Each structure stands twice: as C-alpha cells, then as structure tokens.
Amino acid sequence: MIARDLFQHDGGGRFEDVARLDRLAQEKLDTKAAEVRAEEWKWLEVALDFAYGHTTGLRRVAPPAEGLSTADQAAYDVLRQEYDE
C-alpha cells in the first residue's frame, strides 16, 4: 500500500492505492459520524474534503456548557485554593 524509495532517508513514501485509502478514511468518518448522531445532533455531514469556498459564511456552533457536578466542583475548589496558596 505504501511505496518506499530505497535511498530515501526520512522513511517517507507514497500511497499506491489512493482509492483504498479514501474508502478506509470515509468508513472511519462514517463510524464516527454515527457516534455523534447518537448524541442527538440534528445535522451532520462528513466528507474527505470540501470544495474551495464551501465554508465561506459558515459559523461554528458549540453546545451549551454544562455545569460541574457537586463532587467535581468540590475537587476544583480544593485545587483552586491550593493553587492560590
């Protein structure tokens, strides 16, 4: 799958079967997309690349931040006090 040059000193090479690499990458993206869809995101599209200008005008949307649990907040407070001292 990877062709290497006998005299290449950096251990580099090139992929001989680019279609197979693209298929494997797409399968991995699809698997991860299924995991994210299970988290109830309303829209998700995966692609190996985007056409030039595809992302123009898009903005990043982040999920709302969740508060810390009582145990996590207590641990944070102890560490914060230790840091301040």
Structural domain boundaries of the chain? Answer: 1-49
Residues 67, 76 contacting (CB under 8 angstroms): no
Q: What percent of the chain has pLDDT over 70?
A: 99
Residue in the block written with tokens 């991995």: 28
Range 15-35 average pLDDT: 91
pTM of the model: 0.50
